[in-house]
Amino acid sequence: MRVTQSMLSNNMLRNLSNSFERIGKLQEQISSQKKITRPSDDPVVAMQGILYRRNLEEVEQFKRNYSEAYNWVENSDTSLDKAGHAIDRIRELMVQVTNDMYDISQRQSTMEEIDQLKNHLVDIANTKSGDKYLFNGTDTLNAPVIDGNPPSFATPRNNNSVELELAKGVYIPVNAKSGEAFSDDLFTDIQKVISDLQNGKPGKELSQHLDILDKHKSNLVNARADLGARANRIELMADRIDNQHIMSEKMLSENEDIDIEKVITEFTTQESVHRAALSIGSKIIQPTLMDFLR
């Protein structure tokens, strides 16, 4: 087979072009820090990247849901705690007045304080987080307690659970049900306490309210216990989703990101090879008559 000068020249130019292309690809990888910049570079990596990125987006959405869940749980728990303190204070005042040693002015002061505590409980039952009421089930845009004498819960009570998806297919209730924490007769019972104080009822009759107040306090304690159990589960699930987030980012990085040291080494090697090819190519291209006519 006869090898001509034009064949040598064409092969050299083709090899130089391939070398330029390889250098360009390595330079592009170094600049972008990615293995590919377009799907045609490696369709397998591109398809896997879509799946890994979709999984990462799901995990990040779950993490945002956890922020909302913590907001609901922590605000609800704090509100129930404040309501419990209010009930305790009302009970403490009732114990004091049952000894029949209080005069009219002292009873009046006690009655006024209990009335303020009742209003405080109304505010707690109508607690909002942002623009959402925490104790009205899924009807988060309307207050559960309406004004009146005594105040009352809007009927029918909305005791539906507010559920958030905290893992794929796993929905966790994040609210404390209003009907379990605050019974329908809460404000009516407190108003009866105020009325009996106003009417000068003796201590023996006033002491009957203590058991009723204990029942309302028990409702608050049970609601907090149930909420706390769910909070513990949410915390455990949050740790798991954090680990999933780390793994998702790692898988995506391993699929798409370059090994910078390796690529720089390849770039340096390819650059040396290219310079050597240029040096050899200058010897392959023989002088022509025009070179001697200069």
pLDDT band, residue 294 (cuts 50/70/90):
low
Domain that holds residue 77: 50-252
Residue 175 lies in a domain: yes
Please write the tens of the pLDDT for every residue from 255-286.
777 777 787 787 788 777 777 777 776 666 66
**How large is the average pLDDT for residues 49-62?**
87
What pLDDT was estimated at residue 201? Answer: 83
Q: Specify if 93 maps to a domain.
A: yes
Task: Write out pLDDT tens, residues 210-252.
Answer: 999 999 999 999 999 999 999 999 999 999 988 988 888 888 8
Q: What percent of the chain has pLDDT over 70?
A: 89
Q: Which amino acid is at 174?
A: V
Higher pLDDT, 240 or 8: 240
Question: Could you tell me if residue 220 is inside a domain?
Answer: yes
Residue 237 lies in a domain: yes
Find out whether 142 and 133 touch, Cβ atoms under 8 Å. Answer: yes
Distances (CA, A) of 173 to 37, 124, 142, 242: 43, 20, 19, 20
| Average pLDDT in the chain | 84
Specify if 37 maps to a domain. no
pLDDT value for 233: 93
List the CATH number of the domain containing 211: 1.20.1330.10
Report the percentage of the chain scoring pLDDT > 90: 37
At residue 18, the pLDDT reads: 75
Rounded to the nearest 10°, the torsion over CA 68, 71, 73, 75 is -150
Locate 51 and state its tokens.
């799946």
> How many separate domains does the chain show?
1
pLDDT at 66 over 70: yes
The residue-averaged pLDDT of 129-150 equals 90
Instruction: Return the pLDDT at 48.
Output: 83
State the pLDDT at residue 1. 56
Q: Is residue 97 part of a domain?
A: yes
Give the pLDDT of residue 28.
Answer: 74
Establish if 77 belongs to a structural domain. Answer: yes
Residue 263 lies in a domain: no
- The pLDDT tens digits of the residues spanning 71-85 come to 999 999 999 999 999
262: Cβ contacts below 8 Å, ≥ 6 apart:
none
**% helix, strand, coil for the chain, step of 5:** 70, 5, 25
What would you report as the CA-atom Rg of the chain, rounded to the nearest whole angstrom?
38
**Taking 90 as the threshold, does the pLDDT of residue 191 lie above it?**
yes
